[in-house]
Structure 1
């Protein structure tokens, strides 16, 4: 299914938001609620620049999609005893996670660093998502997503923020694998190979010594 990219983003978004809201220091409810809840912060799929003027919270921005070379040559999948589905396109998704607070709150770098620390804790504690963790079109599938913190060099960080045309904000990057885009081709009829029988041949030579 082609919806798996967005469904992956929604899975991560739901996990981060529910866990941060449940945190007694950042979230909670009532008069003693933390800044995430009290200030109506969100985990958004918008770019950091788009969020700056619209809302506070976390930008979970998908900024890069690449082919997963290690899974590219996986064999076709049998969907029944007589039908074979072409192999899916395996992808690795790269997300830039940026905590943002508004100018109305003086930028609030302390809250931004609290939020970033919480994100690091959450994905370190739970790097794999499957089963009931999955959202949207991934619900009920056998998909397994692995989240990995990746180190970005200064040159790569500069390129990303130059593309955003905004000032640099404290951020981290995560790689999520493997996300599959199913083939749009119709299944092909066929049968599984049950037994492989080797065949033997005898190479005979004629009197002249050439093979026959």
Structure 2
């Protein structure tokens, strides 16, 4: 999602795109972002000014939930901004032909890129996390009528110059209010199971009906053996694991984050036993069945496996807040974080996104931290660390080592 510098990031990215375009027709020209009455082309062959003259909100996005919100969680919707810009060429000596040339090149540069890509935002505006916004940011041209033009230029008390207007939508800015996420339910019903329903269409192809994680947990850990229960699995000799956040498979083979794991072909009616190797990133992985020799992908599936991160750092005796009520917390985890992963600290029922990741280390800044002792979870790409280590006991409980005291 986007931080408070998202508007600045959009303006800087647009300015860089415009400058790249106008240099193709006027090598010494530059692009700036200033109020129109403060722009002077003195000493330059020409420049194009990008001016943000109005902001509004996209009403159709006002009630959208925060991206990545899981069932049962609540969070403040992001602020969906629409940014309105003026694009004006300024030329020394007021040569309109040069001004028209610059404006044409600037319009061509933005028309060529109607969507601001994540790569452009990350490269040009690395100071903001706007590039992590899941929705595209679109440039749309806007017709300005005579009354609006007169009002705009009258405010600055400067002569009118040829101007184009466009809008950029929607820039989503996060609320600083943390997401509320409830703690895991320890048991459901008398036997700890929810209602189950099923049909028996007697399939003739391999199919996985359910995954059984050790200890009755909702996710697996590295090194666990996961049971795949289903029908017609006796011909399965391997499992392909593909992390969902990775690039999709290309024509030459699986994506870089796809790993093929050999398994022993089970007897008819028995589950497939999948031992998770090291090197897998935490998160959700697609399971694809492989069969034959050499192993080939079977035309069924995929199914999905959740691989939970494990907090490996020892919890400090206490974390002390500063005078503003901010606590700074550093955690290490296994497996290490993959590039581009979203990592959240769930401190009690409040979620806080990591702003700094390095290898297996995540650093969090918790504003207005609540004092007291809190259960701690680490969420990586939507999968939580296992706060309840064993659900097969009569009285499941939270892991006492996964607790942090804030003073």
Q: Same fold (TM over 0.5)?
A: yes
Distance 1:73 1:98, change over 3 A: same
For 2:88, the equivalent position in structure 1 comes to 98
Distance 1:157 1:191, change over 3 A: farther
Aligned counterparts, 1:79-90, within 5 A: 84-90=74-80
Structure 2 residue 97 is matched with structure 1 residue 107: no
For 2:30, the equivalent position in structure 1 comes to 42
Aligned counterparts, 1:1-212, within 5 A: 1-21=3-23, 23=24, 25-27=25-27, 37=28, 41-52=29-40, 56-78=46-68, 84-102=74-92, 106-134=93-121, 135-136=124-125, 137-138=128-129, 140-142=131-133, 143-190=135-182
Shift of 1:190: 3.3
Distance 1:183 1:51, change over 3 A: same
What's the CA shift string for 1:109-166, capped at 9, x where partnerless?
1110001111222222221111211132146413521111110000001110011111
When normalised by structure 2's length, the TM-score is 0.40
What stretches of structure 2 of length at least 5 have no aligned partner? 185-194, 196-407
Distance 1:177 1:140, change over 3 A: closer
Cα contact 2:48–2:87 (8 A) shared by 1: yes
Partners of 2:59 and 2:72 lie apart in 1 by 28
Cα contact 2:41–2:90 (8 A) shared by 1: no
RMSD (Å) for aligned C-alpha atoms: 2.4
Cα contact 1:82–1:191 (8 A) shared by 2: no
Partners of 1:17 and 1:139 lie apart in 2 by 21
Partners of 1:77 and 1:86 lie apart in 2 by 11
What's the CA shift string for 1:62-121, capped at 9, x where partnerless?
00000111111212333568855421100100000000012xxx2111110001111222
Partners of 1:117 and 1:108 lie apart in 2 by 14
Partners of 2:103 and 2:69 lie apart in 1 by 42
Partners of 1:75 and 1:58 lie apart in 2 by 38
Partners of 1:69 and 1:58 lie apart in 2 by 31
Structure with bigger helix share is: 1
Partners of 2:50 and 2:16 lie apart in 1 by 11
Partners of 1:45 and 1:170 lie apart in 2 by 16
Partners of 2:35 and 2:130 lie apart in 1 by 26
Cα contact 1:94–1:174 (8 A) shared by 2: yes
Partners of 2:36 and 2:174 lie apart in 1 by 30
Cα contact 2:84–2:166 (8 A) shared by 1: yes
Structure with bigger strand share is: 2
Cα contact 1:66–1:92 (8 A) shared by 2: yes
Count matched residues: 176
